[in-house]
């Protein structure tokens, strides 16, 4: 049982090993086990975000009109309860909670500015808000942070050719500033995408699923997670949690251009997580089969 797991995860890990250690090491069944474990670990890493998104979608259908507590305020209370339960039941560590709080602050700052310039708007009433931003919005950014730190632990992430953290810090700061400055000066997002490719282009990520260790380019991971967030964003806007200007007269898919924004936000997110969990190199003394994802 790995010390990187919480106590609850250690029990789950021990239970899984009792049932899987006897599985074939090669062949179709072995590959199927690796795939199923990968899916389950990903689902476990998403538990905070899935719970928040589930409440948002659920209240679209079932929250009573005219309730004493506005839907936006209910979402804030529900998000706080979910966060407290995550820590109380040892589904999340206090160390991870620090990362999540930083995501709250970074995300809320962006929300306050973006809503003030009309990039998107929040519907509904309520009192638990700052300006036009209901406080549950910070938890959506926190869900990204929660996913990233949990993935780091669950898959024992290691990195080859990870760039110097001071370089990634400068890049992340430039990206964050551009989210604000492009409203007043030329948008540098595609220049920043090119810079990201240069900075992270040689970096690969090693991750362990069950018996096998896999490797894939880190940039491909950024694209995959950005696509996943874009899908979740479509569910959020469809549920009227917030809307873009072109969705005011009827819901439509979020523009694919937002994938670029989410890709860049991934860089900011990775840098924040790296402050708490410094990137580690693969352990040369750890023998395992290496596969390419």
Dihedral over Cα of 197, 203, 207, 212: its sign: positive
CA separation for the pair 94, 106 (Å, rounded): 19
Taking only the tens place, the pLDDT of each residue in 219-278 is 999 999 999 999 999 999 999 888 898 888 888 999 888 899 999 998 998 998 888 788
Given a cut of 60, is residue 3 above it in pLDDT? no
Instruction: Please give the residue that has the higher pLDDT: either 198 or 20.
Output: 198
Residue at token pair 């669950």: 154
Residue 126: closest CA among 73, 79, 84: 73
156's tokens:
């024992």
pTM comes to 0.84
Residue at token pair 């940039």: 219
Q: Are 108 and 137 in contact (CB under 8 A)?
A: yes
CA separation for the pair 243, 276 (Å, rounded): 33
C-alpha 236: how far from its chain's center? Answer: 15
């Amino acid at each position: 049982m790995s010390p990187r797991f919480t106590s609850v995860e250690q029990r789950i890990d021990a239970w899984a090993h009792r049932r899987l250690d006897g599985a074939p090491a090669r062949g179709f069944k072995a590959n199927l086990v690796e795939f199923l474990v990968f899916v389950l670990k990903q689902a476990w890493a998403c538990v905070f975000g899935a719970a928040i998104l589930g409440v948002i979608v659920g209240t679209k259908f079932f929250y009573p009109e005219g309730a004493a507590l506005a839907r936006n305020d209910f979402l804030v209370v529900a998000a706080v309860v979910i966060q407290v339960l995550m820590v109380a039941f040892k589904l999340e560590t206090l160390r991870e909670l620090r990362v999540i709080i930083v995501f709250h602050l970074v995300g809320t700052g962006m929300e306050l500015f973006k809503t003030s310039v009309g990039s998107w708007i929040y519907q509904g009433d309520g009192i638990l808000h700052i300006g036009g931003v209901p406080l549950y919005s910070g938890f959506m950014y926190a869900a990204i942070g929660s996913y990233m730190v949990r993935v780091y632990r669950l898959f024992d992430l290691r990195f080859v050719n990870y760039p110097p953290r001071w370089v990634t810090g400068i890049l992340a700061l430039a990206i964050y500033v551009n989210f604000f400055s492009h409203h007043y000066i030329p948008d540098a997002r595609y220049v920043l995408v090119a810079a990201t490719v240069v900075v992270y282009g040689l970096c690969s990520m090693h991750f362990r699923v069950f018996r096998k260790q896999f490797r894939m380019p880190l940039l491909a991971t950024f694209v995959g997670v950005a696509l996943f967030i874009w899908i979740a964003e479509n569910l959020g806007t469809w549920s009227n949690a917030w809307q873009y200007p072109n969705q005011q007269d009827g819901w439509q898919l979020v523009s694919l251009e937002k994938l670029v924004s989410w890709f860049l936000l991934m860089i900011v997110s990775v840098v924040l997580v790296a402050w708490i969990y410094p990137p580690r190199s693969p352990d040369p003394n750890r023998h395992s089969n290496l596969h390419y994802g």
